[in-house]
A and B are shown apart, each in its own frame.
Chain A
């Protein structure tokens, strides 16, 4: 038996979480370094997976399969395709940056003197250790969910990752808050509960569909079900397939999030610290869009085609509505959240356009959105931690005081609006082309999203960074070395993938071919006659 590389990639951060949680209360710095070390180790393993993965090889590679709960027909089955391996690498890449960016986010607040309250001496309250352990725990679950080829295993992770995420949102917030600590805590726990309930409801609806799938198919194995469907052994009644599809899609649409199920995201991203917000939108939410590709299209091809018109309309609404609301935001983090909703609309549009450019573009979009949002959000977090306010109106003229901060913020913003030369442009272009070849009208509507993106990003930059220097930002320090070390590699990556996206597309394209053949779709032929 070969070395279980995929299990190891997921197990390492889990072990790290336990190790970090066990660090004694006084050794906060040690806990941070340990967390960073484990996340870098995971990155190394992820790179190994990437290297071992052969783009032209079998559909699922590095597979592992072990008996788990025979009574439920559940096996511990792992395997990655091109899409899974890309997102796995993205996750492993982003988490070290998240940890480094959140270095001081969970330090005990200075007003409590850095000491736990006296009566709790017996059991020490250790927020720092908890913060980093939870991040690693989320990483472990997300990575394993990208690898799972058993529906039940995937479902378990899909649900279980909510719990550490919930504690990350509810337990840790920005230090300074305009309305005071009390109000901040209330809003934070509101956001955490909203996040959890939305996703839990989605997950429970999916549970009903998971059980239904088992009753119909008698198996949870993705490979087995797909093979049985392809060979005609397993026939689903049209209505059954549609209901099951809806059960799955509902959960993924909440996670992704798709309009009108998106309302938890601005709350969660607004109240969480910037690194946690990155974790939500760049890492955890990708599980939703990934699962649409892997589970919805593969297990329920007919129903997917049936639902396509509605989903395309919903994703168009997401694109335009998210962008419009982003324009109107007064809060920097909520603005980025609405921008993300708009971008998730593009991703879902690309997936359900059912063209190979669309789906390759959507996968690439997931990666690029992860990196660009991380860059923008983390710089925004650095900015907010300096001034202690999330309101755009509280800033002005920052580029004169902190030019590097402003410059990196601009690059992150330009990536968000898909400036040619930066990575998101390639994916957005692919999605639009892929959509246009099949649904020209949808492609046209979606382009409005780009126009609006330019508006919200540039207005945000103009209001915060340019103009006369405000009194409160006059003494604002520029990016520190740690902060620069977080942002610089992300920006370098954005430029690199913007110029040369081939390494990613090469891995993704064969997987997209498989998915296209699952839904029995071919790309529409370019037809010159019809275009006239």
Chain B
């Protein structure tokens, strides 16, 4: 863009009389889910300031649960009044889409967060520190690990109740992310949910250095991916002269050729579109953890406090795939001859890479991290279908997957020895004999990950593979099936370890959690089995929700 063009833009803007700027029209009721959560997050910050230390834990927990439940109620209300099907619309001056996929994913994110917040609040697993109940978060985040400040904080019985508002902020960003209807909103939502997550990762009570290392890695790589995304946005703006999804889609289709005089040199330049689109995809594929943008996943999953890992693994994936779906189905369908081959490749290496590398893992959290990578590949197979069935199958898969994930990580928090959680696989030997119930529950989750029939994992896998096959990606299905077979091997290995190995004398014990974590695990198992045996209702729901608004 030449200097004179920029100058003319500025001068045009300056010449506009002030009173002609229209007051933005905001549909508060349609945006209620997001507004409730962000409002609660702000309140949560105030709680930290105003409420005495003793009462903070309970008030924060109450606030978070209420806000998430109320937001979910708002989503259900919107869906019930047809905002997901017949009354889809674009709200907030074109920034937010209120349609089926957005509401379905927001509902999933809210329920998953609700399940996760209970594991955040668990205070019975760690032994009491100086007579006070403590959770899995550091006493005082600012203190040096192992230093005097930390000891003093532990003695004083500090707890980091800031995690609740941080989580609510993250949820806000995640709610906006799949609903974002222009690229700037997309970017802002990305940052709003990423920044609190970086912080949350660093807050583990045990193994603090590992936790901080994870946070730094996540932050650095996340910043890179944000930069890619932002650069992609800039290039796409240069191509289309707008950041609005609908507008870009029109330019891609070639149905609009109104050249903005200031962008005359760049508009319609395919190089900008291709490079910009590719960079945008990179940013999103980073967040879903697809190969080759997956490097952060194992380290971050391992280092972060386990409740945060569960939350992140479930909710981030839902939000990011939601955004990816909208981008590919609304903005770039006209470009599918270009992005489909690329995503084919990404899906194949993601499925196979995740499954193969997982075989060599010796830490349960890293193992689940690689498994989440493989799952991202399976979901991508559904994304590639580019049919309404593809959308609904991905929606269903995400809902099924997030509950399995949260449940599985919740079980991981229970298996403990003197050093905190015993995540090394060798320590899980014989768990099935020491505590059959915990091992059986974990086995259910593993079988669901492996996609064994009568679990939600199978229904989800079947849905995406069927959509992919109908969308003409039969080869992808065959590769997916092979990857599933490889993946089954390491899930089975954990089951073998738990049930068929002799318990070690100094092995970990399974702590008896409070009703909070029990609720999370019970919900996880119930959803896993319900979606496996009778998925019809949820498939219907996902089917109805599979229309994007333009």
Q: A156-B454, A197-B488 are in contact. Are A163 and B447 (CB under 8 A)?
A: yes
Give every chain B residue within 8 A of A33 (Cβ-Cβ).
none
Chain B residues closer than 8 Å to A306, beta-carbon distance: none
| Chain A residues positioned under 8 Å from B436 (CB to CB) | 120, 123-126
Name which of A184-192, A370-378, A524-532 contacts chain B. Answer: A184-192
A188 CA / B496 CA spacing, docked (Å): 10
Interface residues of B in 483-515 (CB under 8 A from A): 484-485, 488-489, 492-493, 496, 499-503, 509, 512
Contacts of A122 in B (CB 8 A): 435, 512
Closest Cβ–Cβ distance, residue A50 to chain B (whole Å): 28
Interface residues of B in 133-184 (CB under 8 A from A): none
User: Which residue among B453, B496, B534 has the maximum number of chain A CB atoms within 10 Å of its CB?
Assistant: B453
Chain B contact residues: helix, strand, loop or mixed: helix
Task: Give complex CA distance A211, B389 in Å.
Answer: 14
Q: How far is the CB of B484 from chain A (nearest CB, A)?
A: 5
CA distance A97 to B501 in the complex (A): 30
Binary contact readout A4-45 vs B (1 if CB under 8 angstroms, 0 otherwise): 000000000000000000000000000000000000000000
Does B437 lie at the interface of the complex (its beta carbon under 8 Å from any beta carbon of A)? Answer: yes
- Whether A71 and B543, one on each chain, are in contact in the complex, defined by CB atoms closer than 8 angstroms, is yes
**Does B477 contact A211, Cβ atoms closer than 8 Å?**
yes
0 or 1 for each of A154-191: is its CB under 8 Å from B? (1 = yes): 01110110110011001100000000001001001100
Alpha-carbon distance between A507 and B448 when the two chains are bound, in angstroms: 40
- Is the C-beta of B474 less than 8 angstroms from some C-beta in chain A? yes
Residues of B within 8 A of A71 (CB): 392, 463, 535-536, 539-540, 543
Given contacts A122-B512, A185-B500, A189-B501, whether A211 and B465 have CB atoms under 8 Å apart is yes
Q: Are B462 and A72 in contact (CB under 8 A)?
A: yes
Cα of A211 to Cα of B482 in the assembled complex, Å: 14
- Hey, which chain B residues are within 8 Å of A230, CB to CB? none
Q: Does chain B have a CB within 8 A of A237?
A: no
Instruction: Tell me whether B221 is interfacial, beta carbon within 8 Å.
Output: no
Would you call A398 an interface residue if the criterion is a C-beta within 8 Å of the partner chain's C-beta atoms? Answer: no
Distance, CA A155 to CA B453, complexed state (A): 8
A212 partner, pick from B452, B459, B474, B543, beta carbons under 8 A: B474
Instruction: Assess whether B433 is interfacial by the CB under 8 Å rule.
Output: yes
Q: Counting CB contacts under 8 A, is B92 at the interface?
A: no
Minimal beta-carbon separation of A36 from chain B (angstroms): 24
Smallest distance from the beta carbon of B76 to chain A beta carbons, Å? 21
Would you call B484 and A204 a contact (CB within 8 A)? yes
The answer to whether A211 and B453 touch across the interface, beta carbons within 8 angstroms, is no
A70 sits at the interface (CB 8 A): yes
Q: Is the CB of B454 within 8 A of A170?
A: no
| Cα distance A67–B499 in the bound complex, in angstroms | 37
Q: Which residues of A contact B474 (CB under 8 A)?
A: 212, 215
**CB <8 Å contact, A68 and B492:** no
Given contact pairs A120-B433, A208-B477, A192 touches B454 in the complex (Cβ within 8 A): no
Of A123, A157, A171, A182, the residue contacting B502 (CB under 8 A) is: A182
* Cα(A188)–Cα(B500), bound, Å: 8
The answer to whether A160 and B454 touch across the interface, beta carbons within 8 angstroms, is yes
Complex CA–CA separation, A531 to B135 (angstroms): 87
A117 touches B481 (CB 8 A): no
User: What's the minimum C-beta distance from B193 to chain A, rounded to whole angstroms?
Assistant: 31
User: Does A208 contact B478, Cβ atoms closer than 8 Å?
Assistant: yes
Q: Mark B450-489, 1 if CB is under 8 A from A, else 0.
A: 0011100011001101100110001001100110110011
A429 within 8 A of B: no
State whether B501 touches A185 (Cβ < 8 A). Answer: yes
> What's the least CB distance linking B520 to chain A, in Å?
19
Contacts of B433 in A (CB 8 A): 117, 120, 125
- Cα-based distance from A204 to B465 in the complex (angstroms): 12
Asked if B550 is at the interface (CB within 8 A of a chain A CB), the reply is no
Known A-B contacts A126-B436, A159-B453; A208 and B481 likewise in contact (beta carbons under 8 Å): yes
Given A71-B536, A201-B485, A211-B469, answer yes or no on A170-B434 (Cβ-Cβ < 8 Å): no
Residues of chain B within 8 A (CB-CB) of A481 are: none
With a CB–CB cut-off of 8 A, which chain A residues contact B454?
A: 156, 160
Judge whether A200 is part of the interface by a CB distance below 8 angstroms. yes
| Alpha-carbon distance A438/B347, docked complex (angstroms) | 49
- A90 sits at the interface (CB 8 A): no
Is the CB–CB distance between B500 and A120 below 8 Å?
no
Q: Which of B478, B535, B539 has the most CB of A within 10 A?
A: B478
Q: Which residues of B contact A120 (CB under 8 A)?
A: 433-436
Residue of A nearest to B496 (CB): A189
Complex interface residues of chain B between 503 and 545 (CB less than 8 A to chain A): 503, 509, 512, 534-536, 539-540, 543
Residues A192 and B434 in contact, CB atoms below 8 Å apart:
no
Give which listed residue, A69, A192, A207, contacts B496 with CB less than 8 A: A192
In the complex, A189 Cα to B437 Cα: how many Å?
Answer: 20
Task: Encode B380-405 as 1/0 by CB contact (under 8 A) with A.
Answer: 00000000000010000000000000
A68 to B537, CA, bound (A): 10
| CB of B414, distance to nearest CB on chain A (Å) | 12
With a cutoff of 8 Å between Cβ atoms, the chain A residues found around residue B502 in the complex are 182, 185
A120-B435, A197-B488 are known contacts. Are A211 and B466 too (CB-CB below 8 A)?
Answer: yes
Contacts of A188 in B (CB 8 A): 500
Would you give the 0/1 interface string for A194-230, flagging 1 where the beta carbon is closer than 8 Å to chain B?
0011001100110110011011000000000000000
Cβ-defined partner of B485 (8 Å) among A170, A185, A189, A204: A204
Known contacts: A71-B536, A193-B492, A204-B485. The answer to whether A214 contacts B466 by CB under 8 A is yes
Residues of A within 8 A of B435 (CB): 120, 122-123
Enumerate B255-314 residues with CB–CB distance to A below 8 Å.
Answer: none
Can you name the residue of chain B whose Cβ is closest to the Cβ of A201?
B485
> With a CB–CB cut-off of 8 A, which chain B residues contact A207?
462, 465, 481, 484
Set B434, B438, B458, B540: member contacting A119, Cβ < 8 A: B434
- B462:A170 contact, CB within 8 angstroms: no
Given A123-B437, A197-B489, A201-B485: A72 and B463 within 8 A (CB)? yes
CA distance A166 to B499 in the complex (A): 11
Which one of B434, B453, B534 contacts A117 once the chains associate, using CB atoms below 8 Å?
B434
**Proximity bits, A493-529, B CB within 8 Å = 1, else 0:** 0000000000000000000000000000000000000
Chain A residue at minimal CB-CB distance from B536: A69
Residues of B contacting A125 with CB < 8 Å? 433, 436
Distance A447 CA – B388 CA, assembled complex (angstroms):
57
CB-CB < 8 A to B481: which residues of A?
A: 204-205, 207-208
- Provide the bound-state CA to CA distance between A125 and B536, in Å: 36
Interface centre among A196, A204, A205 (most CB of B within 10 A): A204
Closest to B503 in A: A117
Instruction: Name the distance in Å between A268's Cβ and chain B's nearest Cβ.
Output: 14
Taken together as a complex, chains A and B put the C-alpha atoms of A483 and B487 apart, in Å, by 43
Q: Which residues of A contact B501 (CB under 8 A)?
A: 185, 189
A185: chain B residues at CB < 8 Å are: 500-502
Contact with B along A255-297 (1 / 0, CB 8 A): 0000000000000000000000000000000000000000000
Residues of B within 8 A of A167 (CB): 499
Q: Are A69 and B539 neighbours in the complex by a CB distance under 8 Å?
A: yes
**Which chain B positions have C-beta within 8 A of A196?**
488, 492
**Cβ contact within 8 Å between A189 and B478:** no
- A157–B453 alpha-carbon span in the complex (Å): 8
A22 to chain B: closest CB distance in Å?
Answer: 13
- For the complex formed, measure the closest distance between the CB of A76 and the CB atoms of chain B, giving whole angstroms: 11
Task: Please determine whether B462 and A211 come into contact, CB atoms closer than 8 angstroms.
Answer: yes
Give the nearest-CB partner of A170 in chain B: B500
Residues of chain A with a CB closer than 8 A to B509's CB:
119
Closest 6 CB pairs between A and B? A189-B500, A156-B453, A71-B539, A208-B481, A204-B481, A201-B485
| Given A70-B536, A200-B492, A215-B470: 20 more A-B contacts, CB < 8 Å | A69-B539, A117-B433, A117-B434, A119-B434, A122-B435, A126-B436, A160-B452, A160-B453, A160-B454, A162-B452, A167-B499, A189-B496, A196-B492, A201-B485, A207-B465, A207-B484, A208-B477, A211-B465, A212-B474, A214-B466
Query: Could you pull out 16 A-B pairs where Cβ atoms are within 8 angstroms?
Result: A69-B539, A71-B536, A117-B434, A120-B434, A120-B436, A160-B454, A162-B452, A163-B447, A182-B502, A185-B501, A193-B492, A200-B485, A204-B482, A204-B484, A207-B484, A215-B469
